[in-house]
Amino acid sequence: MSGAVHEAAALAFLGAAFRAARERAGRTTREAAELAGVSPRVVSHAENGKPVSAISFLRLCRLHDVNPFALLDAVAMHRREGGFHKAASGGVSRGTTSVTRCNSSMREARP
């Protein structure tokens, strides 16, 4: 699988984790953006698997009380488990098991 496919799948995985955290907190996109100090567009991009700056990524992690290293470790684990693969339609699909596991373990190992 190409690096671009892995990157797109990883961004989609991260986006799903961010969206789930925002929804669990009962926040709208606009509320999350205001609290994180980013624009609503940045929140939307992150949640929809589009790249955002490292600063925006860290601000979203802080907003959701997520250890960014735990989140990135979960992406790596998901990849090792074969969670990122090309679907028959040519797109990238992701398994929900690792996303759920990621959401439950993202708060681990806070410095």
pLDDT of 64-110, one tens digit each?
A: 998 999 888 888 888 888 776 544 333 333 333 344 444 454 444 33
For the stretch 37-53, pLDDT in tens is 999 999 999 999 999 99
For the stretch 84-97, pLDDT in tens is 654 433 333 333 33
Q: How far apart are CA 89 and CA 101, in angstroms?
A: 26
Residues 6 or more apart whose CB falls under 8 angstroms from that of 107 comprise: 65, 66, 67, 70
Q: Supply the pLDDT for residue 26.
A: 97
Kindly report the CATH number that applies to the domain delimited by 3-105. Answer: 1.10.260.40
pTM of the model: 0.70
> With the CA atoms of 65, 5, 86 and 93 taken in that order, what torsion angle do they form, in degrees rounded to the nearest 10?
20
